[in-house]
């Protein structure tokens, strides 16, 4: 078993080669038309280590839509506001249904299971909108991501946001159910408009890996969130970050992580590494198929897991 951090590069190369050779890559997300045309053969992996090194393999400089990975950043911002009422509006339990399940929201009478299912993330966006216009809220979210990644060039792709605005019928339905249960302070249009735009943040794999350093506990200059919030976010990423595939992901990889339907995964090894993968093909739960396989191989090769001594 390889445990020496100097060998990360070799492991990444091996992972890249096996990803390229794999025939079963999963299906790209089609319910957002702009994402349906992404090349399923893309693959990238990037690792930021505690000593400041960043090691990568594959298509690491191609921007992609981070989609639900953005929910990690909006949760961090919402928790930073010390909003006492936040946890009265959103649960902290893993979901047993799909990430956009209307049934689950209805059964729970308008209280989403956790901040990472779509309904929970829509409520999170709604809390960030308190006292701000959508443009101001989006500027705050983008600045947070840019600061986390140490890169002021990160942008929102408006065509992806527009595409989801026109085709995201389930999200419109979820927002209306939230409003029906009095769990939305702003209009569905304002809240979803903001939500679609933060999901449409485009980043490269290297930028995404850097954006997770604050969750690994690295000192990267400005302190983005309190240590107590990092602890909560990592706990939720572990238990809810892959929706109803979170148990399987914890079993295989053993790390807090958040997936997005653009094919990204951000995974955290507390104190040791922030890892991003990008492989657009998804499994039946909407999580990246080859990204999960890559993280499984990397975590085993390096002995990285929150469940064993590293």
243, 246, 274, 288: which one is catalytic? 243
Nearest-approach distance from CB 239 to ligand DON, in angstroms? 15
Q: Which of residues 8-47 bind ligand DON (CB under 6 A)?
A: none
Does residue 195 have an active-site annotation? yes
Active-site hit among 56, 60, 65, 71: 71
Q: Which stretch binds ligand DON (CB under 6 A): 76-84, 224-232, 257-265, 299-307?
A: 257-265
Q: Does 259 bind ligand DON (CB under 6 A)?
A: yes
End-to-end CA distance of the chain: 12
Indicate the residue among 100 and 274 with the shorter CB distance to ligand DON.
100
Output the residue with the shortest Cβ distance to ligand DON: 68
- Position among 44, 79, 199, 205 found at the interface with ligand DON (CB under 6 A): 199
State the Cα–Cα distance between residues 82 and 130, nearest whole angstrom. 13
Q: Three-state secondary structure along 85-117?
A: CHHHHCCCCCCCCCCCCHHHHHHCCCCCCCCCC
Instruction: Indicate whether 286 belongs to the interface with ligand DON (CB under 6 A).
Output: yes
Interface stretch with ligand DON, choices 126-134, 233-241, 258-266, 299-307 (CB under 6 A): 258-266
198/272 with CB nearer ligand DON: 198
Which residue intervals of the chain are DSSP H helices?
8-21, 33-36, 70-80, 86-89, 102-107, 118-128, 134-149, 158-167, 169-180, 188-199, 205-211, 213-216, 227-240, 246-252, 289-302
Mark residues 85-104: x for contact with ligand DON by CB under 6 A, - for none. --------------xx----
Question: What 3-state class would DSSP assign to 270?
Answer: coil
Residues of span 214-243 touching ligand DON by CB under 6 A = none
**Nearer of residues 95 and 259 to ligand DON, judged by Cβ:** 259
Is 181 considered catalytic here? no
Q: Are 257 and 266 in contact (CB under 8 A)?
A: yes
243 is catalytic: yes
Tell which residue, 58, 126, 31, has the closest CA to residue 294.
58
Residue with tokens 């702003």: 186
Site for ligand DON in 54-73 (CB under 6 A): 67-68
Buried b / exposed e along 40-74 (16+ C-beta atoms within 10 A): bebbbbbbbbbeeeebbbbbbeebbbbbbbbbbbb
Residue 144's contacts (CB-CB under 8 Å, 6 or more residues apart) are 73, 76, 77, 224
Minimum distance of ligand DON from residue 2's CB (angstroms): 30
Closest CA to 8 of 42, 45, 43: 45
Q: Which stretch binds ligand DON (CB under 6 A): 47-55, 107-115, 233-241, 255-263?
A: 255-263
For position 244 contacting ligand DON by CB under 6 A, the verdict is: no
Instruction: Tell me which DSSP letter residue 154 carries.
Output: -
Interacting residues with ligand DON (CB under 6 A) = 67-68, 99-100, 118, 164, 171, 199, 259-261, 286-287
Residues classed as catalytic: 68, 71, 195, 243, 261
């Amino acid at each position: 078993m390889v445990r020496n951090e100097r060998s990360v590069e070799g492991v990444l190369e091996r992972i890249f080669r096996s990803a390229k050779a794999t025939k079963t890559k999963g299906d790209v997300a089609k319910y957002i038309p702009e994402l349906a045309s992404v090349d399923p053969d893309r693959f990238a992996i990037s690792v930021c280590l505690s000593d400041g090194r960043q090691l990568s393999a594959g298509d690491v400089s191609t921007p992609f839509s981070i989609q639900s990975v953005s929910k990690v950043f909006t949760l961090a911002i919402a928790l930073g506001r010390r909003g006492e009422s936040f946890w009265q509006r959103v649960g902290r339990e893993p979901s047993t249904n799909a990430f956009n399940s209307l049934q689950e929201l209805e059964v729970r009478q308008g209280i989403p299971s956790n901040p990472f299912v779509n309904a929970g993330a829509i409520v999170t966006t709604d809390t960030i909108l308190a006292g701000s216009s959508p443009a101001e809220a989006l500027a705050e979210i983008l600045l947070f991501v840019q600061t986390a990644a140490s890169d002021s060039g990160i942008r929102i792709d408006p065509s992806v946001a527009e595409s989801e605005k026109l085709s995201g019928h389930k999200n419109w339905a979820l927002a209306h159910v939230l409003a029906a249960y009095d769990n939305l302070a702003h209009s569905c249009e304002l809240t979803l408009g903001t939500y679609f735009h933060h999901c449409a943040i485009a980043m490269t794999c290297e930028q995404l890996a850097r954006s997770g350093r604050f969750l690994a506990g690295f000192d990267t200059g400005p302190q983005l969130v309190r240590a107590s919030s990092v602890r909560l976010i990592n706990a939720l990423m572990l238990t809810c970050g892959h929706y109803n595939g979170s148990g399987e992901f914890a079993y295989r990889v053993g790390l807090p992580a958040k997936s997005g339907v653009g094919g990204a995964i951000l995974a955290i090894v507390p104190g040791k590494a922030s890892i991003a993968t990008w492989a657009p093909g998804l499994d039946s739960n909407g999580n990246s198929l080859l990204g999960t396989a890559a993280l499984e191989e990397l975590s085993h090769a390096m002995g990285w897991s929150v469940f064993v001594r590293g």
